[in-house]
Amino acid sequence: MKSLSFRYVFLFYLLLMIPGVLPAQSGNFFNQRDDEYRLLGLKRAKEAFDVARAEYERQKTLYDRDLSSQVRLEQARAAYADAEVNYQQSLLAVLFEKQYISVQSAVKYHAADGTRRVRLTLANTSGGTEEFRKLLNTDDDLFRSLQPDVINNAYISLMNNDNAIVSQPYETKISELRFGSPQTVDFKLLQDLDAVTVFLIYGNGSQRSMKIFLQKDSTVNKVEIQSERFSQEVELGKSAEYDLTLELYSGVDNTFSLEVVNLPREISHYFKSTTGSVRLRQVKFTESSRSKDAVLQITLPDRSDGQVAMDKSIPFYVLVLPADKAAQVRKDPERIWTEEELRALDVGFVHLELIPRGRGELMVRAPQLYHDIFADGTVEMTLELVNEGSRRLDHIEVTADVPLSWTDDITPRTIPSLDIGEEKRVTLHFTPPPGTSVGKYEVRIKATGLSSGQPISGSDKIATIEIKAEANIIGTVLIVLFILAVVGGIVVYGVRLSRK
């Protein structure tokens, strides 16, 4: 028994003395803090990997010389493979933890097609490649194969304050973002914003979002201008207002002039603030305020002429000019500019449209509005309808509100049309019913028509009709005879008195 126990003890010590059996396993020793301090865990895994690889190579050499068994070689191979996996996992954990994408620039610009776009430049700022190599003292193929200087599969989108995506495409992908090689992606803005949230997903699912203020393109010295109410119809003698939204795209000037070109001189205009209390000639932008609102008010003359023709579009432009180009435009105010010339001038402008519309104006004239008749009589009166506006009147109708049971006869009751300055006469007859009491009665006369499909009314006229009582001829004669008799008696009496 003693000799058998001695054999087991001797075999145990012999196994301890065999190189590569226990060291390969001890190299994979796990420390619970490796997940918390991943760089130290990576260093530990690298050392275990180097030991396992050296042991595997040594066992392979011994096996090739028939100095080691197949079992020991497979054990060394397994330990080497396990250490390699641990090393790769630790290295990937550190690399993914240290990956970082920065936004180098976000420039908002105005595209040729009128859309607002954003150029977003992203950079891989992880920058840990050299530090990892120094820490691990390695430059092997495994380290390079994991591409520590590359961030794969970066997904980018732009969002507003409500976390709704406002970019088109909604999401774009960068397959590889290498350290030291920034890449630029271009988005169309679906919502006009000065600040957006950049949302990033990259690597093994890392997420990052940041709210940034969009830069302006410093290479462009212009202000973009837009108007929602760019085409309007305006009646002669009336005014219209065009809303203007100005947005600065400049890194040079911050003060710009407002000008109107191609608008006939007969049409007056001026710029004003949105409150209407201040007239504007220039606008000034600041770093905190790169957008401005203004209003262009135009007023048409009361009468049309050759330049202001009815129902014909008048195209014109509003320009936003830096000081040097403002002088160039003002030196020839009568010049008609084309859109190509304005684009060549490289200034902000917006195309507006004005359509003068005439409006018919119905004037009602009545030579006499007071009439007296007997109860069995009929009133006859006339009205004169005149179109004093700047557009033809259609479907003119004359109506009368007569007292109860009265009858009216209007000739003509309807006039098909009335041209500008044309006059028509209308005859009206009003007849009271039999037995109408003596007194005064009123009749309201109305005239209505259409101008461009819009209802037009003339001023109402009120005719006063007085019903007189029938005269008593016999009584009148007797009264007259009585008066004559009284007068004659007085005269005779006076003569007699004078003779005495």
439 φψ region: left (φ > 0), alpha (ψ -120 to 50), beta (else): left
Q: What b-and-e string marks burial along 432-441, b requiring 16 or more CB atoms within 10 Å of the CB?
A: beeebeeeeb
Q: Could you give the C-alpha distances from 500 to 404, 486, 489, 491, 496, in angstroms and in order?
A: 69, 22, 17, 15, 7
Q: Give the end-to-end CA distance of the chain in Å, rounded to a whole number.
A: 207
If residue 11 lies in a helix (H) or strand (E), which one and from where to where?
helix 2-17
**Count, residues in the chain:** 500
Q: CA torsion angle for 334, 340, 342, 346 (degrees, to 10)?
A: -160
Over the stretch 399-446, which tens digit does the pLDDT of each residue have? 999 999 999 999 999 999 999 889 999 999 999 998 888 899 999 999
Over the stretch 256-277, which tens digit does the pLDDT of each residue have? 899 999 998 889 999 998 887 7
Residue closest to 271 by CA, chosen among 260, 262, 261: 260
State mean pLDDT over 308-316. Answer: 85
In 304-344, DSSP assigns E strands to: 314-321
Omega of the bond leading into 412 within 30 degrees of 0 (cis): yes
State mean pLDDT over 7-18. Answer: 38
Over the stretch 113-122, which tens digit does the pLDDT of each residue have? 778 889 999 9
| For residue 47, pLDDT beyond 50 | yes
Taking the C-alpha atoms of residue 386 and residue 418, their distance in angstroms, rounded to an integer, is: 8
> 32 falls in which pLDDT band (50, 70, 90)?
very low
Alpha-carbon torsion (45, 46, 52, 53), positive or negative: positive
Phi/psi of residue 499, nearest 5 degrees: -75, -30
Query: Hey, what are 42's tokens?
Result: 């990576």
> 347 falls in which pLDDT band (50, 70, 90)?
confident
Compute how many other C-beta atoms are within 10 angstroms of the C-beta atom of residue 109.
18
Alpha-carbon torsion (433, 465, 441, 402), positive or negative: positive
**Residue 67 DSSP label:** S
pLDDT at 225: 87
Of residues 385 and 493, more confidently modeled: 385
